[in-house]
Structure 1
Amino acid sequence: MPAVATALLAFSAGAFARQDAAPKYPDYPSETPASFTPVNADADFERRVVMIPMRDGVKLHTVILVPKNLNGDHAKHAGIVLTRTPYDADALTTHSQSGNFAANLEGYDNPADVIVEDGYIRVVQDVRGKYHSEGDYVMNRPVHGPLNPTPVDDATDTYDTIDWLVKHVPESNGKVGTLGISYDGFEPLMALIHPHPALKVSVPMNPMVDGWMGDDWFHNGAFRQQNLPYIYEQTATRDNSAKWWSNVQDDYDLYLRAGSAGELARQHGMQQLGFWQKMLDHTEYDAFWQDQAVDKLLAKEPLKVPVMLVHSLWDQEDSYGAIAVYKAIKPKDTTGTMVKLVMGPWHHGQEIEDASSLGALKFGSDTGRYFREQVLRPFLAQYLKDGAPKADVAPVTAFQTGTNRWERLSNWPAGCGGSCKVKPTPLYLDAGMKLGFENADDGDSDAYVSDPAHPVPFRARPIQPVGYDAGQTWSQWLVDDQREASGRTDVLTYTSDVLTSPLTIAGQPQVHLTASTTGTDSDWVVKLIDVYPDMVGNQPEMGGYQLAVAMDILRGRYRQGFTESRPIEPNKPLPYTFALPTTNHVFLPGHRIMVQVQSSWFPLYDRNPQTFVPNIMLAKPEDFQKATQKVFHSSYLELPVVASGKGS
């Protein structure tokens, strides 16, 4: 080794030795405390954060906001409004850096005007396994039973939470109500199973009820693949910190290039996720789905707690749940006072926001404020406020679209007493692409070619992902102008003559297709549409607008029953029957009725390969084949037509 290098090494070694031998400086005291408790003497509420123990020892993170009066004194004898959520209790109760109660509650799940102005104690809790709560997370955790061998579920967690609250929140009057939207609307329904005596009222809004039949995961067997990012973010981590990624601007391209939902999930590592594996394993309506369908569960339970079910007529996520629960529990309401139904012209959750419009539609008033002030406020007060009067809330409060007016009805759908009735009325898909109320079946059909390589977009491209961030229009897609589809050769479009008198429908239109395919599997998408006049004087942009009133999809392999998939016999006319979502609409004079039929609705739903395979989510590229589809003129939609009269 050269002498210079040896000297340098010796110098370096000596320098490091001297550095190691140097005395260490004392630690500099940190200026950040180990924990910090905010203090705001001017706040009009007190924030308490507690870990509430459940019966199995797991503790759930709970935020309690207790209002104060102008003198700074805490509320006394106040009712409690509880929401249980997988979406971060801290975030839902910290929308502002101020000490203003209302400002902190603005946003998802918080009808802040009602909660604050009526002086309720607000409680929001992380469900087990999410964010700051202990325990394991299971998506929509099933109740104790075949799907859940543990002694705990969302019903028992709600019971234990209420029990703790009424014993440890001295400002309360011992009365608790629960409300929430979507997943958080599922939780008030769980509270109805063996409810705590202190639970006095439940308000499920746009609830998740049956994920296979018509809510978040499937619709009549067709998989809602645009919910893959939700499944990914909701189940991959406790705090949703793992974010879905995409380097494709148009979701249409993203899902088409992947080929199948299963392949796109694999590319994102979703095989590690327990809930996704359950989806792959249960593509049919088997016991896994049936045993956790909330409407079926509540049909077996006694009705002990007053319930207000809130439904959005253009709910782009959970169009099935609220109506299904209403059908299940209304027969138990022997007094006619325990079950209320509200239907508004809203997207998913819009009832707690400004709701004077939706997309291009304008309603002439803030329908969300009407609901909160005239319906929700008195209903909650009746059960949660000491000495409050009985609420003057109709059994059914329904907004009628088309005429843009609220109705007070005795029941649903035939809610107008003896003055009118709902009459099932066939509307036929006739020759010449016409719609008519007379059966003019000529034995013929109309045909189109469905090509999985060019699926029909469910809205104009580029298609945004599911989301509610600024600039995103996911919440409006159900009211998109359907002219985008009616001009395609792979969409059949039937149109009525111009109406000379109003046509009112109230209920669920029933699809009765007679159709054939050259393939061995097929999807059928049917849309009921209100076509506006060519010119609309007070809103020119609505000229010729094609407004979807109700639309949905059926996966053809389930035409003989949802519990077992079966191939379709090629080239044979077969019946396909399914229900569209609930409507309360008037087709006005000067308008026309339209029905569209197609075989893909992409990328909202995964593509049917049109070749029967055991699991469409795992279909291979070679499985996807063109098919010629025929719709016969014996096909019709059974409309729930209101024969005469008006709502009381």
Structure 2
Amino acid sequence: MRNYMRILLFTLVVFSSLRLVSADDPSYDERPETHVVSTEGWNYERRIVDIEMRDGVTLHTVIIVPKGAMNSPILLTRTPYSAEAMTSYATSGDMRAILHGFGNVADLIVDGGYIRVIQDIRGTNGSDGSFVMNRPLVSNPYNSTDVDESTDAYDTIEWLIKNIPETNGNVGIMGMSYNGFEALMALVNPHPALKVAVPVDPMVDGWRGDDWFHNGAFRQMTISSIYSSSASRGGDSSFVWSTPERYEAFLREGSLKAMANRYGMEQSGFWRKLTDHEAYDDFWQSQAMDLVLAKEPLKVPVMLVSSLWDQEDLYGGYAVYRALEPKDTANDMVFLSLGPWSHGQSMADDASSLGNIKWGHNTSVWWQKNVLAPFLAYHLKGEAAHIAPVTVFQSGTNEWQQHITWPETSTVKKLYMKPDRTLEFTPASGAEKTVDYISDPAYPVPFIDRPITFEDYSQWTTWLTTDQRNAATRPDVITFTSEVLADAIAVAGVPVVNLTASTSGTDSDWVVKLIDVYPDEVPSDNNMAGYQFPIAMEIFRGRYRETISEARPLTADKPLTYTFELPKVNHVFKPGHRLMVQVQSSWFPLYDRNPQKFVPTIFFASEGDYKKATQKIVVSGERPSYINLPVIK
């Protein structure tokens, strides 16, 4: 009888939504004005609300409550990527199915009995208000309003704990990429109900090493996403490439200025910010989340999750850890997870490999089960758990490690580049010598093998692990290689480049790569024979050698020292392998070309500004080039 009454009620609702007109009426439409789907048998309830912020703006919010939930904690994500899309991966009555995708870790959420809440941030998708890329705090001079992402997180949590009767009042915030930035912002003046935060591969510093720049070199591959997110308020602008092959598309424009003009990029407020703040000035420094949070007290436990081969936000997560860890004297507030992942792969269903590199087990599932799930359960449900302050994957051995802090005690050893293009831990003797090459902006070094089309998206997600042998064959890439290792070398931490070099121009980029060269024979996998596996690679724009806050020309033909960090590593170079270092002056089209002639703003360089230059790397004498390796004994 109960089922009969439900069916009858459902039928009445459907028919009441139909327009009662005859088929020959011009306004007749067989579709209901509102289609009502039966939720009979569903294991969750979906609630759609528009939560009002302190300034009256409402934010579109999707709440997924497990059927029968009682005293359940809330897992919140705030996003520009569409709350509706992130909770509609299938038309299904199964909660696990609708959450299956984009950082939702559906199994963890469903098995843990969490209430899932996803909210569109201001000015995106279903939310009102205006969108500002990485909106600064209200205390920041670049924010003239009384609201920011921190206040919106606070107001949202306040509403949730008062209006979801099934919750126990504990809220965790979690998200990756831009959503990870939102999780970090919630830590500024956090709501008392916020018990834990998990920023995954978060956007932290757009100049030092995340989305927009790396050490001053502009990541021009982001131009299409900048265009699509900020060219129109509807977010419906599509960037149409002149040709599908990205290397050719950028090169044929002649300059980034010409491309930007063709697409009307100057109409975008965020693009104007990029071009106005090419150096690491107060605009970037005041918004860098590691610097912001370093000034805040530790109030909420946070687990920073960072991927060792993150193609998008390689810098941020570990930068926040370095800023906060010294304040955590009890080792119970700041946690770090480093995994062998691409951007956001820690939240995926399968991370047993990355490109051609195999890890021997499903690293994402292992981490979700053994680290993330118990960490959230401890802080949100009070379940007993012991989580090490640091969980880090060691490539080479392909093993997980646990530490109190990271890196553990290491010895800095100088790995010298030598005149015969070898690598050794002892410097070359004798007078100053150089290894030279010609850098020609008309023929820049591709960052991966061409054609670069991204029709297969893995071409993007795996590029940081791709074989570097093609680069090694170019005359404008200088390669230094060690002897075959008799003993293993374990490195953990941040390698630091000390490159002494000159250029015949007045500006230059320097790209340095630390590479693990596999043996000539790998019986277990012939594809890996001789493979040049990049462990850490980074670019540095020469105009910021003296200070990153101001561009200054280089003195032509004068050897100068460039000191910069490579990304974090936790790797073992095994016996039978070799160490390799590659040096080059372009990395295209991932990064914009340096004209190699100083211009005030490279964004506005014209085609005629791009010049060939002779590059000379000093490899002996008083100031030889080397990399400081953090070697574990």
What interval of TM-score do these two structures reach, taking the shorter chain for normalisation? Answer: over 0.9
Equivalent residue, structure 2, for 1:562? 548
RMSD: 1.1
Q: Which amino acid letter does the alignment assign opposite residue 81 of structure 2?
A: Y
TM-score, scaled to structure 2: 0.94
Cα shift readout 1:309-355 (whole Å, capped 9, x = no counterpart): 00100001111000110011111212111111000000000011100
Match of 2:438 in 1: 449
Following superposition, the deviation at residue 260 of structure 1 comes to 2.1
Q: Deviations over 1:345-386 (max 9, x none)?
A: 00000011100001001111000001100000000001111x
Cα deviation, 1:415-457, whole Å, max 9, x if unaligned, reads xxxxxx3011100001100100001143101000000000000
The aligned counterpart of 2:629 is 639
Alignment deviations for residues 170-214 of structure 1 (CA, whole Å, 9 cap, x no partner): 011000000001001101100000000000000000000000000
Q: For the residues of structure 1 that align with 2:504 and 2:329, how far apart are their CA atoms? A: 51
| Cα drift, residue 33 of structure 1 | 3.7
Q: Does 2:582 align with 1:596? A: yes
2:435 equivalent to 1:435? no
CA distance in 1, matches of 2:459, 2:442: 26
What is the identity, as a one-letter code, of the residue corresponding to 2:38? V
The residue number in structure 2 matching 1:383 is 379
Equivalent AA in structure 2 for residue 66 of structure 1 = V
1:93 is aligned to 87
Give the structure 2 partner of residue 251 of structure 1. 246
1:39 deviates by: 3.0
* Cα pair 2:355 2:458 within 8 Å, conserved: no
Q: Give distance in 2, aligned partners of 1:131 and 1:162.
A: 20
CA positional deviation for 1:40:
1.3
User: What is the identity, as a one-letter code, of the residue corresponding to 1:559?
Assistant: R
For 1:407, what is the secondary structure of its paired residue?
Answer: strand
Of 44-53 and 31-40, more deviation after overlay is shown by 31-40
Equivalent AA in structure 2 for residue 51 of structure 1: D
CA displacement at 1:620 relative to structure 2: 0.8
Partner of 2:526: 540
Distance 2:320 2:82 in 1: 27
Partner residue of 2:65?
66
CA distance in 2 between partners of 1:310 and 1:441 (Å)? 44
Pick the aligned partner of 1:519 from 465, 489, 505: 505
* Distance in 2 between residues matched to 1:287 and 1:34, nearest whole Å: 52
Say which SS state the counterpart of residue 195 (structure 1) adopts.
Answer: coil
2 CA distance for matches of 1:367 and 1:247?
Answer: 39
- Whichever residue aligns with residue 461 of structure 1, its letter is R
Between the aligned residues of both structures, percent identity stands at 55
User: What does residue 205 of structure 2 align with?
Assistant: 210
Matches within 5 A, 1:232-251: 232-251=227-246
> How far is 1:476 from its partner?
0.2
Q: CA deviation at 1:26?
A: 5.0
SS where residue 485 of structure 1 aligns? helix
Q: Report the equivalent of 1:311.
A: 306
Q: Read off the aligned partner of 1:110 and give its amino acid letter.
A: N
1:133 matched residue in structure 2: 127
1:520-559, CA deviations, whole angstroms, 9 ceiling, x for partnerless residues? 0000000000000011111110000000000000000000
Looking at structure 1, the residues matched to 35 and 158 of structure 2 have their Cα atoms a distance apart, in angstroms, of 29
Residue of 274, 277, 281 corresponding to 2:272: 277
Amino acid at match of 1:639: L
Contact 1:499/1:591, CA 8 A, preserved across alignment: yes
Q: How far is 1:238 from its partner?
A: 4.1
Aligned counterpart for 1:329 among listed residues 324, 333, 339: 324
Aligned residues, how many?
A: 603
The Cα shift of 1:258 comes to 1.1
The residue identity in structure 1 corresponding to 2:225 is Y
Match of 1:417 in 2: none
Matched, 1:84 2:86: no
Q: Aligned partners of 2:174 and 2:254: how far apart in 1? A: 40
1:618 corresponds, among 604, 613, 618, to 604
- Kindly provide the amino acid, as one letter, of the partner of residue 404 in structure 1: N
- 2:187 equivalent to 1:192: yes
1:38 and 1:129 map into 2 onto residues whose CA distance is: 29
Q: C-alpha displacement at 1:30, in angstroms?
A: 3.2
Deviation at 1:235, TM superposition (A): 1.4
CA distance in 2: counterparts of 1:490 and 1:35, whole angstroms: 63
Q: Quick one: structure 1 residues 37 and 56, their matched pair in 2 at CA, closer, same or farther if it must change by over 3 Å?
A: farther
CA contact (8 A) 1:249 1:462 kept: no
- Say if 1:521 and 1:609, in contact at 8 Å, map to a contact too: yes
2:363 to 362, 367, 382: 367
* Change in CA separation of 1:85 and 1:228 when aligned onto 2, cut-off 3 Å: same
435-444 or 343-352, which deviates more: 435-444
Alignment partners' CA distance in 1, 2:144 and 2:221: 31
In the alignment, which residue of structure 1 is the partner of 2:4?
A: none
For 1:120, the equivalent position in structure 2 comes to: 114
CA distance in 2, matches of 1:334, 1:239: 47
CA distance in 1, matches of 2:206, 2:282: 13
Secondary structure of 1:433 counterpart: coil
Q: C-alpha deviations, 1:602-635, integer Å up to 9, x for none?
A: 0000000000001111111111110000000100
- Write the distance in 2 (CA, Å) between the matches of 1:464 and 1:507: 34
Per the alignment, residue 9 of structure 1 pairs with: none
Check if 1:166 corresponds to 2:161.
yes
Task: Give the residue type in structure 1 aligned to 2:440.
Answer: D
- Structure 1 segments of 4 or more deviating over 6 A? none
Task: Report Cα offsets for 1:548-605 as digits up to 9, x if no partner.
Answer: 0000000000000100110000000000000000000000000000000000000000
How many angstroms does 1:247 deviate by? Answer: 3.3
**Is 1:102 equivalent to 2:96 in the alignment?**
yes
Contact in 2 for aligned 1:556/1:576 (Cα 8 Å)? yes
2-side partners of 1:291 and 1:471: how far apart? Answer: 34
Within 2, Cα distance between the matches of 1:31 and 1:88? 30
Query: Contact 1:464 / 1:472 at 8 angstroms: preserved in 2?
Result: no
User: Which SS does the other structure have where 1:84 is aligned?
Assistant: strand
TM superposition score normalised by structure 1: 0.92
Partner SS for 2:462: helix
8 Å CA contact 1:525, 1:598 repeated in 2:
yes
Distance 1:406 1:118 in 2: 24
The 5 A counterparts of 1:417-432 are 421-432=409-420
| Structure-2 residue corresponding to 1:51 | 50
Are the counterparts in 1 of residues 466 and 534 from structure 2 also a CA contact under 8 Å?
yes
Structure 2 counterpart of 1:22: none
**What SS class does the counterpart of residue 447 from structure 2 fall into?**
coil
Asked if residue 266 in structure 1 is aligned to residue 267 in structure 2, the reply is no
Instruction: State yes or no: 1:508 paired with 2:504.
Output: no
3-state SS, counterpart of residue 222 of structure 2: helix
**TM superposition shift of 1:135:** 0.1
Aligned 8 A contact 1:430 1:441 in 2: no
Looking at structure 2, the residues matched to 472 and 367 of structure 1 have their Cα atoms a distance apart, in angstroms, of 18
Provide the rounded CA distance (Å) in 1 between the counterparts of 2:300 and 2:265.
40
Give me the whole-angstrom Cα distance separating, in 1, the residues matched to 2:232 and 2:171: 31
Partner of 2:393: 399
The match for 2:196 among 191, 197, 201 is 201
SS at structure 1 position matched to 2:55: coil
**DSSP-derived class of the 1:432 partner:** coil
> How do 1:471-510 residues align onto structure 2 when only pairs under 5 Å count?
471-510=457-496
Any stretches of 5+ residues in structure 2 without a counterpart?
Answer: 1-23
C-alpha distance in structure 1 between counterparts of 2:297 and 2:243, whole Å: 50
Change in 2 beyond 3 A, CA 1:269/1:572: same
Cα shift at 1:464: 2.5
SS in 1 for 2:420: helix
